[in-house]
Chain A
Amino acid sequence: MANRISLWLTVPLAVLVLVGGAAGLSGWSFDVVLPHVLPIGGGVALGLDRLSAFFLVIIAAGVLPCAVFAFAYTRHQKPERDGMTAALAAGMSLFIVSMACLVLARNVLTFLVFWEAMSLASYFLIMTENDRSETRRAGWLYAVMTHAGLACILLGFLTMAQSSGSLSMTAWAQAAAAIDPSKRNVAFVLVAAGFLSKAGAIPFHIWLPRAHPAAPSHISAVMSAVMIKLGVYGLVRIGFEWLGVGPRWWGVLILLIGAVSAVAGVLYAIIDSDLKRLLAYSTVENVGVILLGIGAGLIFHSYDLDSLAALSVAAALLHCLNHTIFKALLFLGAGAIVHATGTRNIEEMGGLLRRMPQTGALFLIGSLAISAMPPLNGFVSEWLTFQALLLSFRVPEQFVNLVFAIAIAALALTAGLAAACFVRAFGITFLAMPRSECVKQAHEVPWTMRLSMGVLAVLAAVLGIAPVVALRPLGYVTAQLLGEQPDLAFSLSGVVAGGSFAAIAPGWVGLTLAVVIFAVWLGFRLTGGSLRKRYYDTWGCGRAVHSPNLEYTAAAFANPFKRVFAFLYRPVTAIEIWPHGESRLFVKTIKYRHESRSIIEEGIYAPLAAAIRRTSARIRAVQSGNVHSYLLYMFLVLVVLLLVAK
């Protein structure tokens, strides 16, 4: 009974966040300081401005459908896990509250308190199914990475506080010019590293593909769609507001990290055959696209081309919102599939479109949106990001133009590979014939799950057809952030970027596409006469093609990419052959393994972990076990402090 109540708690919380966000966007703002709640560090300071309101809307858009999805998803858990679902729902509410307050935080202490609350809540949510060792390892890695990130943010904030003399961020913005640049750069790098690790950008992304699949689907949907955005929120705050106008290399650094994250993210997504890990890697890719927008914005900001900077930030924030919508839709779809078939491996799936028609159609809409196909919302934000990058020729410096050219190439390659990745994800999972028994009896999921996915699909279509719904508030957000309107002119249907540089009417494109398709279909229906249609076997060179083993599998589909980008995967291939007893020539079974290795994990983290292990082994010698040596240490430290502190 307990879990029913706590489940009912999450939905109103999400609605409250949505109301707060909508009010904030329409101009309402407040600043409140509660000194007595936390005596040290200036107490709890919360403030709402347009950027925070926009992120509140993102949080609500991600959390509300997942809360509705959770109803049916948790009901079918095994009975002894009943206590677990109560903790799950409670954890979810704490998670929502901490994220919402984090966005409102205005001083160092509140920011870090809610940041830690969010990390702990998400850690426990990941560990709900901790009977599997894989989940425990994922949880452990997640905890280590988030707290390393927290340490960086703490150090960065403290350097800023020490050099600006105050603990409240708004004070930093005014004092930004006075602080000496080297301190500001150190602070930026540290805090950016912390936020990038939470956002899952490439060098710090390794926790993401392990933590998200381990969590239950609606939790990984919230984490992937919403929690990642708070890293982006932090980056926007320090880049454009708290640390003032930074030097050029800040923007170039973020742009390059974005380009690398986008390309590597989608390349790892293409070869993965675990549905939820595939979606996690595609989150890394979309964070890369968002970072491209923010990096471009930072560069334009440092050249005082503020209208272009506003355009790039608007594109990045629009992609944040769009990504929340279609990534939540895809993760909930994956949750529905796992719920119906019990497996996450797309090699075993197939033919689900006939057995789960609505989930299939909604997953298709999600795949189209994430591959940025015209009538849906992914296209609008990726198109805007492209125009922001293409407009970079107004920057006078030649080296920066080259960096933008590389960023454009990376974004284009990502767009192509994302389309290929989701053709594979959707095609192998839903089409042709089922490849395993458990998939054969798959059945459609309860209506609450389909309802939440349906809401997200409708949102994706609406934002795709009429982007003005999101662009108008974004105009105010960027105007407040950068003091200048974005270089955008938009009416109900059209969007014009960069003066006369580029124009598009997504509403009309969607409408014309629908009208033309309907006209062609109607034309056939009328003139076609008796459309003679006959059902027969698939053409397999005359052989009977009834069994699914003739189909193309996920690994086969990814093979061209694995060969073309072999320098990144550095695949390990192993072939084991079991011959029959009598003679080596008659083979019983052949096992072919084609593993790809992650450069980042082996190149950076493995040696790092080994170095830590070695140094800690040496330090352990200090723990000699007798009390006298401990006393000696304390005495020495005291003396040293006295000398230093003089």
Chain B
Amino acid sequence: MKLLLRKVIGTAVVTEPGRPRDADIETLGHALSERVRKLYGRSLHIREVDAGSCNGCEIEIGGLNSPYYDLERFGLHFVASPRHADCLLVTGPVTRNMADPLKRTYDATPEPKFVVAVGDCAKDCGIFAGGYGVFGPVSSVVPVDVVVPGCPPAPRAILAGILKAVELRASGSVR
């Protein structure tokens, strides 16, 4: 207990200021009403779905909760059940047995919702393309709004992807 308190008092807040702005995010989003964008801008619950990934992206997503990236300050929050979620963070090529559960998770999420696909595998099955167990990219199962390329993408990129998904949805820009 003593050591912990000494550590807490010793280290200052180390969160990087500002909102990450990265250019290399592909946007496939479709329009979202202005009112919803204002709401989602400040409070977004995310449900992370591992559709067969090698967990490289999961480690990076885990980094989002760390004091450095701290996604809480943007109002983002990971939740346990798709019922509570607004955005599905899908990683990995959709394997054959994960296709149906992913579809069910998507249907279980209440409207208005959207999907962020993380990593090259989610974009176009990446290095696993053509494998016998691979069903296809994420967009072949559920409608995807933002794709964050990279194998694995840096936490900053994932964070930028999520925030872009919210802003994009409002501005209605189409690919």
Chains A and B form a bound pair: yes
Q: Cβ of A534 and Cβ of B110 under 8 Å apart? A: yes
CB under 8 Å from chain A, chain B span 83-132: 83, 98, 100-102, 104-105, 107-108, 110-111
B111 proximity list for chain A (CB < 8 A): 532, 534
Q: Cβ of B110 and Cβ of A542 under 8 Å apart? A: no
A588 proximity list for chain B (CB < 8 A): none
Q: Does A541 contact B (CB under 8 A)?
A: yes
CB distance from B13 to the nearest CB of A (A): 36
Selected from B81, B102, B107, the residue in CB contact (under 8 A) with A536 is B107
State in angstroms the CA–CA spacing of A534 and B106 once bound together. Answer: 13
Q: Cβ of B110 and Cβ of A541 under 8 Å apart? A: no
Closest residue to B83 on the A side, CB-wise? Answer: A539
CB distance from B168 to the nearest CB of A (A): 23
B101 proximity list for chain A (CB < 8 A): 541-543
Q: Does B82 contact A (CB under 8 A)?
A: yes
CB under 8 Å from chain B, chain A span 527-547: 532, 534, 536-537, 539, 541-544
A534 proximity list for chain B (CB < 8 A): 110-111
CB under 8 Å from chain A, chain B span 58-74: none
State in angstroms the CA–CA spacing of A227 and B74 once bound together. Answer: 66
CB under 8 Å from chain B, chain A span 517-573: 532, 534, 536-537, 539, 541-544
B104 proximity list for chain A (CB < 8 A): 537, 542-544
State in angstroms the CA–CA spacing of A537 and B102 once bound together. Answer: 14
Closest residue to A540 on the B side, CB-wise? Answer: B104
Q: Cβ of B107 and Cβ of A539 under 8 Å apart? A: no
CB distance from B30 to the nearest CB of A (A): 18
Interface size on A, as a range, is under 10
B108 proximity list for chain A (CB < 8 A): 536-537, 539
Q: Cβ of B81 and Cβ of A539 under 8 Å apart? A: yes
CB distance from A543 to the nearest CB of B (A): 7
CB under 8 Å from chain B, chain A span 489-525: none
State in angstroms the CA–CA spacing of A563 and B32 once bound together. Answer: 52
State in angstroms the CA–CA spacing of A543 and B105 once bound together. Answer: 9
B100 proximity list for chain A (CB < 8 A): 542
Q: Cβ of B110 and Cβ of A539 under 8 Å apart? A: no
State in angstroms the CA–CA spacing of A289 and B105 once bound together. Answer: 49
State in angstroms the CA–CA spacing of A543 and B100 once bound together. Answer: 8
State in angstroms the CA–CA spacing of A539 and B107 once bound together. Answer: 10
B105 proximity list for chain A (CB < 8 A): 542
Q: Cβ of A542 and Cβ of B102 under 8 Å apart? A: yes
B102 proximity list for chain A (CB < 8 A): 542
State in angstroms the CA–CA spacing of A234 and B86 once bound together. Answer: 65
CB distance from B49 to the nearest CB of A (A): 8
Closest residue to B105 on the A side, CB-wise? Answer: A542
CB under 8 Å from chain B, chain A span 72-103: none
CB distance from B34 to the nearest CB of A (A): 17
A544 proximity list for chain B (CB < 8 A): 104
CB distance from B89 to the nearest CB of A (A): 15
CB distance from B93 to the nearest CB of A (A): 17
State in angstroms the CA–CA spacing of A541 and B101 once bound together. Answer: 8
Closest residue to A545 on the B side, CB-wise? Answer: B104
State in angstroms the CA–CA spacing of A542 and B107 once bound together. Answer: 10
A539 proximity list for chain B (CB < 8 A): 81-83, 108
CB distance from A534 to the nearest CB of B (A): 7
B82 proximity list for chain A (CB < 8 A): 539
State in angstroms the CA–CA spacing of A254 and B37 once bound together. Answer: 67
CB distance from A531 to the nearest CB of B (A): 12
State in angstroms the CA–CA spacing of A536 and B83 once bound together. Answer: 11
CB distance from B162 to the nearest CB of A (A): 22
State in angstroms the CA–CA spacing of A539 and B108 once bound together. Answer: 7
B107 proximity list for chain A (CB < 8 A): 536
State in angstroms the CA–CA spacing of A543 and B102 once bound together. Answer: 10
Closest residue to A532 on the B side, CB-wise? Answer: B111
CB distance from A532 to the nearest CB of B (A): 7
B83 proximity list for chain A (CB < 8 A): 539
CB distance from A529 to the nearest CB of B (A): 12
Closest residue to B80 on the A side, CB-wise? Answer: A539
Closest residue to B82 on the A side, CB-wise? Answer: A539
CB distance from B32 to the nearest CB of A (A): 15
B81 proximity list for chain A (CB < 8 A): 539
CB distance from A392 to the nearest CB of B (A): 41
Closest residue to B112 on the A side, CB-wise? Answer: A532
A536 proximity list for chain B (CB < 8 A): 107-108
CB distance from B142 to the nearest CB of A (A): 12
CB distance from A538 to the nearest CB of B (A): 9
Closest residue to B104 on the A side, CB-wise? Answer: A542
CB distance from B39 to the nearest CB of A (A): 14
State in angstroms the CA–CA spacing of A542 and B111 once bound together. Answer: 18
Closest residue to A544 on the B side, CB-wise? Answer: B104
State in angstroms the CA–CA spacing of A416 and B76 once bound together. Answer: 38
Closest residue to B81 on the A side, CB-wise? Answer: A539
State in angstroms the CA–CA spacing of A544 and B111 once bound together. Answer: 21
Given A542-B101, A542-B102, 7 new contacts (CB under 8 A) = A536-B107, A537-B108, A539-B81, A539-B82, A542-B98, A542-B104, A542-B105
Return 6 A-B CB contacts under 8 Å, by A number: A536-B108, A537-B108, A539-B83, A542-B101, A542-B102, A542-B104
Closest 8 A/B residue pairs (Cβ): A542-B101, A542-B104, A542-B105, A539-B108, A539-B81, A536-B107, A536-B108, A539-B83
